[in-house]
Amino acid sequence: MSKNTTEPLIFEVSRPGRRAANLLPECDVPYQSPSELLGAENLRETLPLPEVSELDVVRHFTHLSQRNYSIDAGFYPLGSCTMKYNPKVNERTAGLPGFASLHPLQPQETVQGALELIYELQNLLTEICGMKATTLQPSAGAHGELLAMMMVQAYHAERGDTHRNTVIIPDSAHGTNPASAARCGFKVKGISSNSKGCTDLVQLAKALESGNVAALMLTNPNTVGLFESDIQQVCEMVHAAGGLVYCDGANMNAMLGLTRPGDMGFDVMHFNLHKTFSTPHGGGGPGCGAVSVQANLEPYLPIPTVEKSGDSFRWNFDNSKSVGKVHSFYGAFLIAVRAYTYIRSLGKEGLRSASENALINANYIRARLAEYYDVAYNAPICMHEAVFSASRQKREGDVRALDISKRLMDYGFHPPTNYFPLIVPEALMIEPTETESKQTIDTFIEAMISIAKEAKETPEIVRTAPHTTLVSRLDETMAVKNLDLRYEPLFR
Ligand SMILES: *Cc1c(COP(=O)(O)O)cnc(C)c1O
């Protein structure tokens, strides 16, 4: 987001009378005027719209797009978010008219290819995670969590276990986990992690004693970047107490082709197709939080499901145990096309090496920066994210994780995630992903080392960063809550 010096600093380009399209021909077919169509009382004589030429419009939007940092513009190590490169071939397939121009109400005989793609992608995801069945309906990971909790509730209800009203969630979890459980009507019981950053089995056993536990929600690898090595025992303990185990699969990019949540003992999980399977995300666009289940939860999957008989595919709405629909029609279909393209273009070997390289890149960063920043947990290796603490910088120069993140912008990088997970003080969570070259990662490491030196020698420059962006520090709460998006004309 470096300052573009040729960009005009005056935002207002409107001038009275300026037009982009003056030359529309007279209409030569019968038509209704706007006042006939809408009623004159609904029309305004004048609207305070910007008056600009075509070139003004093109430059305005081009400049705006350049202010937006993106994975196509540079390194984006935002931990937990898996900001990997989105291959352009995914866009080609998602743009094929046979997919892009479908209408969701078309008769199913005319959308056999789309149904086949959904069916195949579901099977691929089911195999990748080692479970029994998958749905693509949820729009995001958090939406998948909610669907999973609805299915957990339906499962216990059918068994008459309606007293199971509690969901256990470790303190390292993403905030969406407790929100999803609570939204579903469950009580959330937090347990703290042990000194190694993993699930504390003693605390877990205590939390299970009540007999009211419906489920445990666990992220693996967890949000401090570590693999839960006791995971099989954790699942056995929860099952023995009559509960189910949910895997927050946002960190699946660490495990493709290496290990499977289904084999570890999880009953249900979500994938973030927009993270692990490279569909574009950020800024609230459409995603997909596919949910996979073991046989015990399959009856509760949302309707419709896609079924295959012989060579043809059909929607099946006929399932009285289903929790119902969680999305209009069938989810974000073109996201599914992108993820399917990604999985098929990498293949089994490619997926596995994607995860292997994600792990190598994160461990390389962790090893090279360990001298300059405190590593959050002293495990021999991390998974696909390296979590540091800026506690040393805070102590020595009153420089905080936020300051380091802001300063990285001056070096041309998107900041890492900071202040998450909450259990790491001054957390800096770096996820390089597999798609970055060693050159890019080395340049990032050099920037982090420079900033560590600045934090010691000239801390003021870090505390007041960024210095090269169009605007510097915003009131981040007000910037979100009080968006100033309305156009107010300067000239009337
Ligand atoms: C991203 C993320 C989620 C939520 O996923 P969305 O698709 O953003 O709703 C949940 N848990 C973890 C650990 C995540 O990183």
| Residues shown for the chain | 492
Q: Are residues 163 and 14 in the same domain?
A: no
For the segment 211-223, the average pLDDT, to the nearest whole number, is 97
Residue 158 CB: number of other CB atoms within 10 A? 12
Q: Are residues 240 and 329 in the same domain?
A: yes
User: Whose Cα sits closest to atom 11 in ligand 1?
Assistant: 174
pLDDT at 422: 94
Nearest to 145 by CA among 207, 231, 81, 215: 215
| CB 219 less than 6 A from any atom of ligand 1 | yes
Ligand 1 mutation target, pool 169, 226, 247, 248, most atoms within 8 A of CB? 248
| CB 261 less than 6 A from any atom of ligand 1 | no
Residue 70 lies in a domain: no
The model's pLDDT over 159-185, given as tens digits with 9 standing for 90+, comes to: 999 999 999 999 999 999 999 999 999
The radius of gyration computed from the CA coordinates of the chain, to the nearest angstrom, equals 26
pLDDT-derived band at 23, boundaries 50, 70, 90:
confident
CATH of the domain at 420: 3.90.1150.10
For the segment 379-404, the average pLDDT, to the nearest whole number, is 97
Q: Are residues 402 and 330 in the same domain?
A: no
Q: How far apart are the C-alpha atoms of 462 and 263, rounded to whole Å?
A: 46
pLDDT at 284: 67
Q: Are residues 397 and 271 in the same domain?
A: no
For the segment 425-440, the average pLDDT, to the nearest whole number, is 98
The model's pLDDT over 29-76, given as tens digits with 9 standing for 90+, comes to: 888 888 888 898 888 877 788 889 999 999 989 988 888 899 999 999
Q: Are residues 292 and 415 in the same domain?
A: no
Q: How far apart are the C-alpha atoms of 479 and 481, rounded to whole Å?
A: 6
pLDDT-derived band at 2, boundaries 50, 70, 90:
very low
For the segment 327-350, the average pLDDT, to the nearest whole number, is 96
The chain-wide mean pLDDT, for the chain, equals: 94
CATH of the domain at 236: 3.40.640.10
Tracing tokens 């890492």 back to the chain, one arrives at: 416
CA 287 to ligand 1 center in whole angstroms: 11
| CB 265 less than 6 A from any atom of ligand 1 | no
- For the CA of 176, the closest atom of ligand 1 is 10
363: DSSP letter: H
Domain of 472, in residue numbers: 352-479
Report the percent of the chain where pLDDT is more than 70: 97
pLDDT-derived band at 492, boundaries 50, 70, 90:
low
Q: Are residues 301 and 385 in the same domain?
A: no
CA 446 to ligand 1 center in whole angstroms: 29
Of 74-83, 284-293, 422-431, 434-443, the one with minimum mean pLDDT is 284-293
Ligand 1 mutation target, pool 83, 137, 146, 176, most atoms within 8 A of CB? 176
CB 296 within 8 A of CB 155: yes
CA 181 to ligand 1 center in whole angstroms: 14
Sign of the CA dihedral running 198, 204, 206, 207: positive
Q: How far apart are the C-alpha atoms of 327 and 331, rounded to whole Å?
A: 6
Residue 139 lies in a domain: yes
Q: How many domains does the chain have?
A: 3
| CB 84 less than 6 A from any atom of ligand 1 | no
pLDDT-derived band at 3, boundaries 50, 70, 90:
very low
pLDDT(6) > 60: no
Q: Are residues 266 and 382 in the same domain?
A: no
CA 174 to ligand 1 center in whole angstroms: 7
Angle at 275 between CA 257 and CA 465, to 5 degrees: 130
| CB 417 less than 6 A from any atom of ligand 1 | no
| CB 140 less than 6 A from any atom of ligand 1 | yes
Q: Are residues 109 and 22 in the same domain?
A: no
Q: How far apart are the C-alpha atoms of 474 and 471, rounded to whole Å?
A: 8
Q: How far apart are the C-alpha atoms of 121 and 129, rounded to whole Å?
A: 12
pLDDT at 1: 37
Q: Are residues 101 and 214 in the same domain?
A: yes
pLDDT-derived band at 491, boundaries 50, 70, 90:
low
Higher pLDDT residue, 42 or 340? Answer: 340
Q: How far apart are the C-alpha atoms of 377 and 225, rounded to whole Å?
A: 9
The model's pLDDT over 267-326, given as tens digits with 9 standing for 90+, comes to: 999 999 999 999 988 776 789 999 999 999 999 999 999 999 999 999 999 999 999 999
User: Whose Cα sits closest to atom 2 in ligand 1?
Assistant: 250
pTM greater than the 0.85 cutoff: yes
For the segment 12-27, the average pLDDT, to the nearest whole number, is 84
Q: Are residues 144 and 16 in the same domain?
A: no
- For the CA of 248, the closest atom of ligand 1 is 11
pLDDT(257) > 60: yes
- For the CA of 143, the closest atom of ligand 1 is 9
Burial class (CB in 10 A: 0-12, 13-18, 19+), 183: middle
